[in-house]
Structure 1
Amino acid sequence: MKTSFSSTISVQTSLRTAMAKAQNELMKANEEVTTGVHADMGVSLGSQTARNLDLTRDVMRIESQLTTNSVAVTRLDSSEAALNNMSTSVDKVRGALASLTSSASTLDDARRTLTSALDSFTDAANSSVAGEYLFAGTNTDVKPLTSFTEAGSPFKAAYDAELNQFLSANGIPSKSAMTAAQVDSFLTDLEAKFSGTTTLTDPPHAGQAGQDFWTTFVSNANDTNMTTRISANEVVDTSTNANGSGFRSFVFAAVVSNEFLTTDIPEASRQAAVKVASGAIGRAETGITAARSNLGISSERVKNANESLESQKKIFELHLNDLQGVDAYEASTRVTSLKALLEASYTLTSRIQQLSLVNFL
């Protein structure tokens, strides 16, 4: 009788190899059950991997564009809200001018309304979102409008220089001595300077002849509006700037009304100022309404672009799901099978390790 040599080492080595492979497969299967996509795209898709990468990049591009568009929507919504507040200020000034009488109390009430409306308009024009001023054009880090009513305002000083120059040039002792015709002449010239059709002169503005009154003393805004690319071939304005005609006309109307609606000004001269201011406030309303309409069009274009992008994203995601997706039932079944295989391997390994001749002696 002959006995042969026997050893458990080869059996244990085979089991360890099988267990390591099963653990690796179980890890991948668990990942597929959790994510719903192949654990190893390269192995699973083969030649389709390049198409998978292209579709993934397309989805990421669209998501990035949608994020950019959400910033544009925030700017547009904030700008439209600010312009709505400006329209309210326009209405207040128009109402104050329409309800004027010659009584001192009425004039004082009107001036308080005008001052409040001017300050509210200035505050709205200086609105900001995320640290960027909405109506500064591309100068988003600079406050657009200078206050007329603040102490030491360079805007107020420039206005006073214009008035004093007119009085001096025409031999008029004071503002209260101006006739209706003189008030009309002064305000017509001043409005031309506010609107930019006439430039500064020297005197009264030393060294500034030929410059624009508005952009020199009132506005720090740039004429170029902020724009946003909302799709591959669409760019829209996401705000307007404080150099627009509506801004200029409103501030002019509010300032001259505030300055000339006083009891020391003769009735005829006051009426001349009210007539000029009323015309300007009408132009201001037209300008502000036009700005609101333009931004409304931009908002609609962004909305349409987002709908198109969302549709494209859904299509790409459907194709990606077809490529990447796994059968959830099959993956779960595979996990269960691999767990059972590992349990059996653990049990068998434990029993093999307990084998010993000592137990049979």
Structure 2
Amino acid sequence: MTSFHSIGDLSRSYQLRLGQNGLRTKLDRLTQEMISGVKSDIPKALGGDLAGISHIESRLQLLTTFQQNASEAQNRLTTMQAALEQVYGVVDDLGPRLLSEPNISGEHDLRARADSTKQDFRSMFSVLNTSIGGQYLFAGSRTDSAPLGSFDVMLAELTSTVAGVTTAADIADRIDAWFDAPAGMGGFADRIYQGDDNGSTRFSISPDRQIDKSLTANSTALRDTLKGMAIIAYASEAGAAIDTATLRDLFSEAGTRLLKGAAGLISAQADLGRQQAIVTQAQTRNSAETAALSIARTNLIGADPFETVTTLEETEAKIQSLYAITARLSRLNLTDYLS
């Protein structure tokens, strides 16, 4: 038969295990609360009313998305500003030079300047094809492909466009018309520009603010710069087929357009600067609202760190005491068994 002492030992062992499991569960809960700073049983902490905390959590998630959008928009705007600054640095210096050099330079120097300018224009293509993380910045809504195609194809197109005309004014007018031709008319927008000016480029950066990144490599703000550079690039490509007098006139035509282009670039940079300011303001407001909501969230479901640590230490002490009692009882039971 099972002795009375055996039944008592089994019951006591069961109770000790229950106590150990309960304390371990409590220890795990308190440890998690201490790490996360949030109460483990939120419905209990709020008395079953979850409407307020649900609204706060949803708003915080929304603000996180807005802040990510704002950060991406700011990165893009900053990089676009840097690209325009590079272009402006070339144009601001080159425009006045093209207007003055025909009066003071010989043919050899003018042709060397034309060749150098063609290379600057080629580099400008690369600048306007700038991308971040595979997203091309001056391509409008078609961000997965570079906005400007082959530079050499463009030179061939320019040569074809001006075929049959001989004066600098007519050459410049043909190049202007090619760059300004609407989509579908076989000009720059069809043959070289590969972006999309019609799709949405809008960023939602806060609950009440959006920005539209509409500047592209096909924008009017850049068109005069492209025209001026293209005139000299054509002159370089044509070489000796253009006489010295026509070359001098083409320099003047290009210089005039680049001066106008510099003004367009300044305007584009100013627009980007205004957008950057709007994004910065939105980021500040998003951060302020996030901080306020985080405080409100903590007030509702936050675990008091002092109380949690105190209870955690008490629980650990109880577990240690329970282990000590268990070990002592085990030794006593072994003594009874041997006696």
TM-score by structure 1 length? 0.81
SS of equivalent residue, structure 2 residue 162: helix
Give the distance between the partners of 1:162 and 1:21, measured in 2 at CA: 86
1:355 match: 333
Q: For 1:230, what is the secondary structure of its paired residue?
A: strand
Which residue matches 1:109? 112
Structure 2 match to 1:161: 160
Question: Would you say 1:71 and 2:34 are equivalent positions?
Answer: no
Q: Is this contact kept in 2: 1:86–1:120, CA < 8 A?
A: no
Alignment check: 8 A CA contact 1:143 1:220 kept? yes
Residue equivalent to 1:174: none
State whether residues 175 and 231 of structure 2, in contact with CA within 8 Å, keep that contact through their aligned partners in structure 1. Answer: no
Contact between 2:107 and 2:244, CA under 8 Å: does it hold in 1? no
- Partner residue, 1:128: 131
Instruction: Tell me what 1:99 maps to.
Output: 101
> In 1, Cα distance between the equivalents of 2:146 and 2:337?
93
Alignment length (residue pairs): 329
Q: Deviations over 1:89-127 (max 9, x none)?
A: 212431431233351332133113311221121111111
What is the CA–CA distance in structure 2 between the aligned matches of 1:112 and 1:303, rounded to whole Å?
Answer: 42
Q: Counterpart of 1:214?
A: 188
Q: How many angstroms apart in 2 are the aligned matches of 1:131 and 1:298?
A: 22
Please name the residue that 2:121 is paired with. 118
Give 1 or 2 for the bigger CA radius of gyration.
1
Amino acid at match of 2:101: S
Measured after TM superposition, the shift of residue 268 of structure 1 is 4.2
Equivalent residue letter for 1:299: Q
Name the amino acid aligned to 1:99. Answer: E
Q: Paired residue for 1:183? A: 168
SS of aligned partner of 2:188? helix
Q: What letter is aligned with 1:122?
A: F
* Structure 1: gaps spanning 5 or more residues: 168-177, 200-209
What whole-Å deviation, never above 9, does each CA across 1:328-356 have from its counterpart, x for those lacking one?
Answer: 22222212222222222223333333236
| Distance change >3 Å, CA 43–CA 187, structure 1 → 2 | same
Q: Distance in 1 between matches of 2:22 and 2:262?
A: 77
Tell whether the 8 Å contact from 2:67 to 2:206 is kept in structure 1 after alignment: no
1:11-160 matches, within 5 Å, as: 11-97=12-98, 98-100=100-102, 101-148=104-151, 150=152, 153=153, 155-160=154-159
Letter in 1 for 2:147: P
Please say which of residues 6-15 and 284-293 is displaced more in the overlay: 6-15
Question: How big is the alpha-carbon RMSD for the aligned residues of Structure 1 and Structure 2?
Answer: 2.7
Amino acid at match of 2:177: A
The one-letter amino acid paired with 2:196 is N
SS in 2 for 1:241: coil
**Paired-residue identity, %:** 21
Instruction: Assess, with a 3 A threshold, how the Cα gap between structure 1 residues 280 and 16 changes in structure 2: closer, same or farther.
Output: same
Q: Tell me the amino acid that sits aligned with residue 46 of structure 1.
A: G
Greater shift after overlay, 297-306 or 4-13? Answer: 4-13
- Alignment partner, residue 279 of structure 1: 256
Over 3 Å counting, the alpha-carbon distance change for 1:346 and 1:188 in structure 2 is closer
**Change over 3 Å in CA distance of 1:351–1:94 after alignment to 2:** same
Match of 2:225 among 250, 257, 260: 250
Partner amino acid for 1:281?
A: L
Deviation at 1:56, TM superposition (A): 2.0
Tell me what 1:337 maps to.
314
Amino acid at match of 1:158: E
Q: Give CA-to-partner distance per residue, 1:254-296, whole Å, 9 cap, x none.
A: 2223444767645543343233222211221122222211111
Distance 1:112 1:128 in 2: 27
Quote how far apart the aligned CAs of 1:12 are.
Answer: 3.0
Provide the rounded CA distance (Å) in 1 between the counterparts of 2:18 and 2:147: 73
Superposed, which structure 2 residues align to 1:219-230 within 5 Å? 219-224=193-198, 226-230=201-205
- Verify the 8 A CA contact 1:94 1:281 in the aligned structure 2: yes
| Cα distance in 1 between the residues matched to 2:324 and 2:232 | 97
Q: Distance in 2 between matches of 1:162 and 1:37?
A: 70
- Decide whether aligned partners of structure 1 residues 30 and 265 sit closer, same or farther in structure 2, where only a CA change above 3 A counts: closer
- Of stretches 48-57 and 321-330 in structure 1, the one that deviates more from structure 2 is 48-57
Give the number of the structure whose residues are more often helix, by fraction.
Answer: 2
Amino acid at match of 1:41: I
Q: Does 1:195 align with 2:180?
A: yes
